Amino acid sequence: MENLIITGLSKTYSNGVKALQHVSLQIPKGMFGLLGPNGAGKSTLMRTLATLQEADSGSIQLGDLNTLEHPNELRKVLGYLPQQFGVYPTLSSEMLLNHLAVLKGIINRKERKEIVHALLHKVNLYEVRTQKLGEFSGGMKQRFGIAQALLNNPKLLIVDEPTAGLDPVERNRFYNLLSEVGEQTIVILSTHIVDDVKELCPRMAIINKGRVIIQGNPIQIMESLQGRLYEKTIHKNELEQYKKEYQVISDRLYLGRQLVHVVSDTHPGPTFKSIEANLEDVYMSQILNA
């Protein structure tokens, strides 16, 4: 199975925004999480990988294929679920998936019907295949989006912010579906939701301000904070002072008081409690330090 190798990818928009700055990643088969805040450059990278826009410099290789030089060849083996995925609300999922299959070159009617039905079963929409897409829930539309992205049995599947707005049940269904797909192909999951990456991805990268600031296995990345993370409950009016004195990476309300997480190479004092780091702590510390 080919790896996806991104080398020195850069993109600056006409307004001067440096959306990507020398991004380099090596992504093998399986689930890969791309984590970052809104505006970090995730969607720019996804659109570039999906051949929807050109980079200023750098290269993208999928096995032996230079995707920037031969975008049409990549499109033959690419599945893409963008952040905003529209459907024809008056069509059924079966009708629209059949239409999209024709557009993707699946001409044989018998073969096309078999593929469409198999994909609708795969995403658990077969029983509602005649229902209008306009009547689907958000989660059902996202599962249909995955079905259309899998029509050409892609070697590379890109999903951009796929679980935003989904309730916990639909999100869990989506996790299971993506995990199953990831057993056979390269799946890049771009998101700002830490749980998406924690639940699904054995490999990940954090991007901010157009730069990759850390990459690796989530568990190994979390180890970078072990023994350096502390928490303390304070009064809300003390928060600004604590931010001046300590490296506060997160704060939230807990039983009506403010709970702060602090990163320190030495124990910050007897009123602080040492805690185990999770992926959200790593994410917050990396974003704040970038």
| Helix axes 109-122 and 138-149, enclosed angle (nearest 10) | 140
Quick one: how far is CA 258 from the chain centroid? 30
pTM value is 0.87
Rounded CA separation 162/143 (Å)? 10
pLDDT at 9: 97
Domain boundaries, the chain: 4-216, 223-289
pLDDT tens-place string over residues 34-82: 998 888 999 899 999 999 999 999 999 999 999 989 999 999 999 998 8
pLDDT tens-place string over residues 223-267: 888 899 999 999 888 999 999 999 999 998 888 889 999 999 999
pLDDT at 290: 61
DSSP state of 52: S
Quickly state the pLDDT bin for 138 (edges 50, 70, 90): confident
Structure tokens that stand for 219 in this block: 């568990």
Structure tokens that stand for 261 in this block: 């997480």
CATH code of the domain occupying 4-216: 3.40.50.300
Q: Are 249 and 281 in contact (CB under 8 A)?
A: yes
Mean pLDDT of the residues in the chain: 91
The residues near 192 (Cβ < 8 Å, ≥ 6 apart) are 35, 36, 37, 38, 40, 42, 161
Rounded CA separation 198/277 (Å)? 13
Rounded CA separation 167/154 (Å)? 28
